[in-house]
Amino acid sequence: MDIITILKANIRHQKSSFIGIFILMFIVSLSMTAVLTVSINSQKSDEEALKYVGFGDMLVMMDNMGQEEGKELIQKVQEHNQVEKVQVIPAICANFKEINGKSNGNSVMLEQYQPEKLKFRIFNENGTGYIENPKALKAGELYVPICYSTSYHCKVGDTITVKLMKHTENYTVKGFFEDPFMGSSMMGIKTVLVSDDDMKSMQKSIQEGSADSISEGMVLNIFQKKSSNLSYLKFQQELNKDTGVSGYAWISMGTSQAMGYMLILVRIFSGSLLVFIALLLIITLIIMNHSIGSSIEMEYANLGILKAVGVTQGKLKIILMLQYLLGALAGAVLGIPVAIPVIRIVNQITTPVVGILTPNHLALGACVMALAGVLVFLMLFIWLKLRKLKEITPVRAICGGKEDIYFSSRVELPIRKKGISFWLAFRQLTSNGKKYISVGVITGLLVFFMIMMGHMDNWMGEDGSEFSRIFDATEYDLWVHCYNEEIQGEVENTIQSYSKIEKKYQIQNVYLMMDGCQMMCFVCEAPEEIGSVLQGRTCRYDNEILITEFVAKDLNLQIGDTVTIAANDKSEEYIISGIYQCANDMGSNFAMSKAGYLRIGSQSLGEAYCLKNGEKAKEIAEKLNEVYGTKLMVTAERGFNEMSSIVSAVKALSVLVYMIAIIFALVVISLVCGKIFAKERQDYGIYKAMGFTARNLRLQFALRFMIVSLLGSGLGVILTLLLMNQCFAWLLSYVGISHIETEIVWMSVLVPIGMMTVVFFLFSYWKAGEIKKVQPRVLISE
């Protein structure tokens, strides 16, 4: 009973500490619950959607070979000892010409909408659920992935123009569907569903030779035997070795790879926020450490009295443990249900980007376990910090626990008359610096993450152009692929009428086989232009290739090793000359020279142009599309078209980090100011007796915290210089980048420093308003 009585009194007496710990843990709990729920539910939703639609373990998109040859290949795959069954789905590879009147060169796989084969789910009008009995498509109608609603601002009823040969066909968007395999905005090629009539019409046009901008193909939906214990990589190698199926494919992918692509954005942002949550937990520990130490120091006499009347050290530990733990527990418990609307908002934002519908219900088990682990860790931390209680004795409590001998700080400076408010603030800071170390460290951690998020936002650029560079191994402004070589000269004349061509070389991304595994290959006529070589050297000769670190790790390869590269029925051996990095296919790619590619392949390459006036590239692209239409493919955009969604998400994440950082800063100032003011109350009475006004004393108090904020911000800048590129590389490892060097934009440094300095100054000045209530007569009572 005595424990409960003392506990209640403590919470009432130190309610600011209780409320502060409650708010900090509430933010941590809310953030952690939201991040874990979105991450776990996204993973489960994609797995469930893949099973519901009917995807197997491997999808192979390939040319529609001759009837006998195609049947023979499919039979080989079906009869393989690791294959359960194979589902053959007709498909057409095409390119969009325009979406809502805007030029677009997106490659798509057109498949017939057949729910009996692949049960794609159609979204309702709001995108928050599915239509139970969707209508069959009529001629001229399409179902497109949900990501088109944000990437191209598509709506039901919009028009999409598809390239055929000398003419184009317009189609109407009937609705949006969920594609758990290729529906993410991070994936370049998309599946689009068409009607039976349109599929037959296109197939007829191809057979009659009146549509050479589209090609007929098929999708092999391959199921691995349940008894097979091979990994996807080994399964693919075994299947390709025995059947050669991927050698004929445009692209092949396993469900595990597809999930990696689909959830890239979720993983990047979840990783970012989990790092931030870890920093918030560290800050919470620092605040608890400061609060416990200050409370014991200020309540030294009362704690000694309690010991003198028979309250044991064990009971005191339990009381103080409960005092802090109850605040943390209340915040953690309340944060869980409050996270539900946050999760709903996040899912509304991420569904069109990720391409799958994620449920809003809590991942309660994982969240409770994570928060329970945090609370247990806090309990152990508090228990360790309460060891100071054994130093308290009734005798020492008589003098308030003060030391018998007092030494002044060596760093104290004399107080000057000119600018006395500043010098008094600085003197108070240096005479008791230990009390402010925690505030400085907290400021440094918050400023570090604010700088990092602001720098990420600046680095990506307004349109994501900088971020998109990691998807290209070389630098260029314009890329043109002429289907008819006779117009190449005319095209270049058109380009030169806008800007001088400083450099040109041929490049193309093609899929080839490396030691039985299909991978994207970057073919470059000028391999010396590849600037992202990390180790070794570029592929100078026709028997050399570059691989990424991720390929080297997955296939256990290193510089100097020999690999077999194949295209269709041709294969040659190549030596690995170096390690480079490129984010295409999440880093699962390699590069070779044009001369090396011609040993096994014959596909024509596009032309990359470096322009003197690079800003005119988009204008040139629009002109070429207008003049030549379906005779060429041209792009002035790097990376992929859906970059705007990523840029918007990063900006939103930056704003969220800034808001949480400011809330944490306010809580920290409130707790620390309260403790310091209570301790220095007698000093303010002395100052007022000497003639200082309340305004002067408040200014000194605020200046003290402003100085601490500036010093802590310096720590944040140092952490930024030391750790920022490593943090970026860790986050970008999800897209295949392991090394990154960025230059700090000082505006992204100055803004958070200025923001935190202003917040510390204004809020501490406001908290110091209690100084107005302090009168010189306080000295009598003291």
Q: How big, in percent rounded to 5, are the helix, strand and coil portions of the chain?
A: 55, 20, 25
pLDDT at 394: 67
Q: Nearest 5°: phi and psi at 148?
A: -65, -20
With a cut of 50, say whether residue 360 has pLDDT above it: yes
pLDDT at 266: 86
Q: With contact defined as beta carbons under 8 Å apart, do 237 and 244 qualify? A: no
Q: With contact defined as beta carbons under 8 Å apart, do 693 and 495 qualify? A: no
Q: What contacts 413, CB < 8 A, 6 or more positions away?
A: 423, 426, 427, 430
- Beta strand pairing status for 570-580 and 215-224? unpaired
The rounded percent of the chain whose pLDDT value lies above 70 is 88
Least confident of 100-114, 230-244, 523-537: 100-114
Per residue in 504-517, pLDDT (tens digit) is 999 999 888 888 88
pTM of the model: 0.80
pLDDT at 735: 74
- What span, in angstroms and rounded, lies between the C-alpha atoms of 659 and 553? 40
pLDDT at 268: 82
With a cut of 50, say whether residue 407 has pLDDT above it: no
How many of the other CB atoms lie within 10 Å of CB of 475? 14
- What span, in angstroms and rounded, lies between the C-alpha atoms of 660 and 446? 9
- What span, in angstroms and rounded, lies between the C-alpha atoms of 169 and 176? 20
pLDDT at 411: 54
Q: What is the pLDDT averaged over residues 703-732? A: 87
Least confident of 203-212, 362-371, 496-505, 506-515: 203-212
pLDDT at 318: 83
Higher pLDDT, 173 or 245: 173
Q: Which tokens hold the place of 453?
A: 């998020």
With a cut of 80, say whether residue 249 has pLDDT above it: no
With a cut of 90, say whether residue 376 has pLDDT above it: yes
With a cut of 70, say whether residue 189 has pLDDT above it: yes
Q: What is the DSSP string of 638-692?
A: -S-TTHHHHHHHHHHHHHHHHHHHHHHHHHHHHHHHHHHHHHTHHHHHHHHHTT-
Per residue in 256-287, pLDDT (tens digit) is 878 888 888 888 888 888 888 988 899 888 88
Quickly state the pLDDT bin for 246 (edges 50, 70, 90).
confident
Q: Which tokens hold the place of 689?
A: 């007796």
SS3 598: coil
Count Cα atoms within 13 angstroms, Cβ side, for 501: 17
pLDDT at 405: 44
Q: What is the pLDDT averaged over residues 513-542? A: 91
Nearest to 541 by CA among 508, 573, 588, 581: 573
With a cut of 60, say whether residue 104 has pLDDT above it: yes
H-only helix segments in 434-509: 434-460, 465-468, 488-496
Q: What contacts 569, CB < 8 A, 6 or more positions away?
A: 244, 247
Per residue in 55-93, pLDDT (tens digit) is 888 888 887 755 566 778 888 889 899 999 999 888 888
With a cut of 60, say whether residue 778 has pLDDT above it: no
**C-alpha distance from residue 548 to each of 364, 541, 601, 733 (Å):** 39, 18, 21, 12
pLDDT at 155: 87
Per residue in 545-593, pLDDT (tens digit) is 999 998 998 888 999 999 999 887 788 999 999 999 998 888 889 999 9
Quickly state the pLDDT bin for 406 (edges 50, 70, 90).
very low
Q: How open is the CA angle 462-466-468, to the nearest 5 degrees?
A: 105
**Mean pLDDT across the chain:** 83
**Scanning the structure block, which residue is given the tokens 């680095």?**
459
Per residue in 723-756, pLDDT (tens digit) is 888 888 887 777 778 787 777 778 888 999 999 9
pLDDT at 332: 93
